Structure 1
Amino acid sequence: MASLLPWLSWLLVSLLSIYLLDLLAHSRRRLPPGPFPLPFIGSLHLLGDQPHRSLARLAKTYGPLMSLRLGTVTSVVITSPNFAREFLQKHDAVFASRSAPDAVGEHAKNGIPWLPNAPRWRSLRRIMATEMFAPHRLDALQHLRREKVQELVDHVARLAREGTAVDIGRVAFTTSLNLLSRTIFSRDLTSLDDHGKSKEFQEVVLEIMEAAGCPNVSDFFPVLAPADLQGWRRRLARLFARLHRLFDMLVDERIRDRNAGEPRKGDFLDVLLDVGAPENDNAGQLDRDTLRSLFMDLFGAGSDTSSSTVEWAMAELLQNPLSMARACNELSQVVGTGRNIQESEIGELPYLQAVVKETFRLHPPAPLLLPRRAEMTIEIAGYTIPKGARVFVNVWAIGRDKDIWPDPEKFAPERFLGSAVDFKGGHFELIPFGAGRRICPGMPLANRMVHLVLASLLNQFEWNLPVEIEKKGIDMSEKFGLTLGKAVPLCALATQVQSSQPIDNRTLATTAFKVSR
Structure 2
Amino acid sequence: MIAISHFLAVLLSASILFFFLHKWRRSNSPKPRGRLPPSPPKLPVIGNLHQLSSAPHRSLQSLSRRYGPLMLLHFGKVPVLIASSAEAAREIMKNQDLIFSNRPQFSVASRLFYNNRDMAFAPYGEHWRQIRSICVLHLLSNKRVQSYRGVREEETSLMVDKIRRLGASSKPVNLSDVIQSLTIDVICRVALGKEYSLGSDFKDIFGEFGDLVGILPLWEYIPWLRWMRRFDGLDKRVERAAKKMDRFLEVVIQEHRVRERREGDGGELDFVDILLDFQRENASRTPIEHDTIKATVLDMFVAGTDTTYTTLEWAMTELIRNPETMKTLQNEVREVAGNKDEIDEQDLEKMPYLKAVIKESLRLHSSGPLLLPRELTQDTRVLGYDVASGTRVMINVWAISRDPSLWINPEEFRPERFLEMSVNIRGMHFELTPFGAGRRGCPGITFVMAVDELTLAKLVHKFNFGLPNGAKIKDLDVSESSGVIIHIKCPLFVVATSHVF
* Alignment TM-score > 0.5, same fold: yes
1:268 is aligned, of 266, 271, 278, to 271
Cα 1:301/1:382, change in 2 over 3 Å:
same
In the alignment, which of 37, 43, 48 is matched to residue 43 of structure 1?
Answer: 48
1:46-85 aligned at under 5 Å gives the runs: 46-85=51-90
Which of 96, 104, 108 aligns to 1:103? It is 108
Find the aligned partners of 1:450 and 1:100 in 2 and give their Cα distance: 31
How far off is 1:270 after superposition?
A: 2.0
Q: 1:88 is matched with which residue: 77, 90, 93?
A: 93
- Whether 2:129 is the aligned partner of 1:127: answer no
Please list the CA deviations of residues 16-48 of structure 1 after superposition, one character each: whole Å capped at 9, or x if unmatched. 8548x77x925x453210112100010100001
Q: 1:11 to 1:461 in 2, by over 3 A?
A: closer
Structure 1 position 109, deviation (Å):
2.3
What does the per-residue CA deviation read over 1:183-218, in whole Å, with 9 as the maximum and x for residues that have no partner? Answer: 123311114xxxx41xx2122222222222234113
**SS of residue paired to 1:478:** coil
Asked whether the 8 Å contact 1:102–1:218 carries over to 2, the reply is: no
Alignment TM-score, normalising by the size of structure 1: 0.87
Question: Which deviates more, 61-70 or 374-383?
Answer: 374-383
Q: For 2:326 and 2:20, how far apart are their aligned partners in 1? A: 62
| Stretch of structure 1 that moved more, 69-78 or 251-260 | 251-260
Q: Is the 8 A contact 1:466 1:493 kept in 2?
A: yes
Question: CA separation of 1:170/1:407 partners in 2, compared to 1, >3 Å: closer, same or farther?
Answer: same
Aligned to 2:166: 159
Moved more, 361-370 or 115-124: 115-124
One-letter amino acid of the structure 2 residue matched with residue 201 of structure 1: F
CA change 1:44–1:189 in 2 (3 A) is same
Match of 1:117 among 124, 138, 150: 124
CA deviation string 1:192-251 (max 9, x = no partner) = xxxx41xx2122222222222234113312565597353434312321221222222121
Paired position in structure 2 for 1:392:
394
Moved more, 385-394 or 247-256: 247-256
Q: Pairwise mapping of residues 215-230 of structure 1 onto structure 2 (< 5 A)?
A: 215-222=216-223, 224=225, 228=229, 230=232
2:402 and 2:491 map into 1 onto residues whose CA distance is 23
Q: Is the 8 A contact 1:338 1:459 kept in 2?
A: no
- The superposition leaves residues 38-63 of structure 1 with CA deviations (integer Å, 9 ceiling, x where unpaired) of 00010100001111101000001110
1:344 is aligned with what amino acid? Answer: Q
Query: Which has the higher mean CA deviation after the structures are superposed, 376-385 or 410-419?
Result: 376-385
Q: Alpha-carbon deviations, 1:239-295, whole Å to 9, x = none?
A: 12212222221211121112899976422222212111155566512x220111111
In structure 2, the partner of 1:212 is 213
Cα-to-partner distance string for 1:371-423 (whole Å, 9 max, x where unaligned): 00011111222212111111000011111111110101100000000321011
Post-superposition offset of 1:82: 0.5
Q: Report if aligned partners of 1:105, 1:233 keep a CA contact under 8 Å in 2.
A: no
Alpha-carbon contact 1:210-1:482 (below 8 Å) kept: no
Q: Does structure 1 residue 181 correspond to structure 2 residue 193?
A: no
Distance 1:263 1:82, change over 3 A: closer
How many residue pairs get aligned? The number is: 480
Give the counterpart of 1:300 among 299, 302, 305: 302
Cα contact 1:34–1:67 (8 A) shared by 2: yes
Q: Structure 1: 5+ residue runs without aligned partners?
A: 1-9, 501-517
- 3-state secondary structure, aligned to 1:218: helix
- 403-412 vs 135-144, which moves further: 135-144
**Does the aligned pair in 1 maintain the 2:360–2:414 contact within 8 Å?**
yes
Once the two structures are TM-superposed, the CA of residue 328 in structure 1 deviates from its matched residue by 0.7
2:8 corresponds in structure 1 to none
Partner residue in 1 for 2:484: 482
Identity across the alignment (%): 33
Partner SS, residue 303 of structure 1: helix
Q: Show CA shifts across 1:137-194 (max 9, x none).
A: 1112211222211211111110111112121221111111111111123311114xxx
Structure 2: distance between partners of 1:350 and 1:100: 41
1:257 aligned residue (253, 256, 259): 259
Amino acid at match of 1:207: E
Query: Equivalents in 1 of 2:83, 2:176: separation in Å?
Result: 30
The answer to whether the 8 Å contact 1:460/1:497 transfers is yes
Give the counterpart letter for 1:57 in structure 2: S
Contact 1:339 1:460 in 2 (8 A): no
SS in structure 1 of the partner of residue 312 of structure 2: helix
Moved more, 133-142 or 259-268: 259-268
User: Contact between 1:275 and 1:282, CA under 8 Å: does it hold in 2?
Assistant: no
Asked whether the equivalents of residues 260 and 273 of structure 2 are also in contact (C-alpha less than 8 Å), the reply is no
Q: Which amino acid aligns with 1:48?
A: S
TM-score, with length taken from structure 2: 0.90
What residue identity is the alignment partner of 1:105? S
Distance in 2 between the 1:18 and 1:249 partners? 53
- Would the aligned equivalents of 1:362 and 1:396 in 2 still touch at CA under 8 Å? yes
Cα distance in 1 for partners of 2:68, 2:460 equals 41
Displacement after TM superposition at 1:331 (Å)? 0.4
Aligned-partner residue type, residue 74 of structure 1? P
Counterpart CA distance in 2 for 1:367 and 1:220 is 21
Counterpart Cα distance in 2 of 1:93 and 1:331: 42
Say if 1:258 and 1:264, in contact at 8 Å, map to a contact too.
no
Q: Deviation at 1:477?
A: 1.0
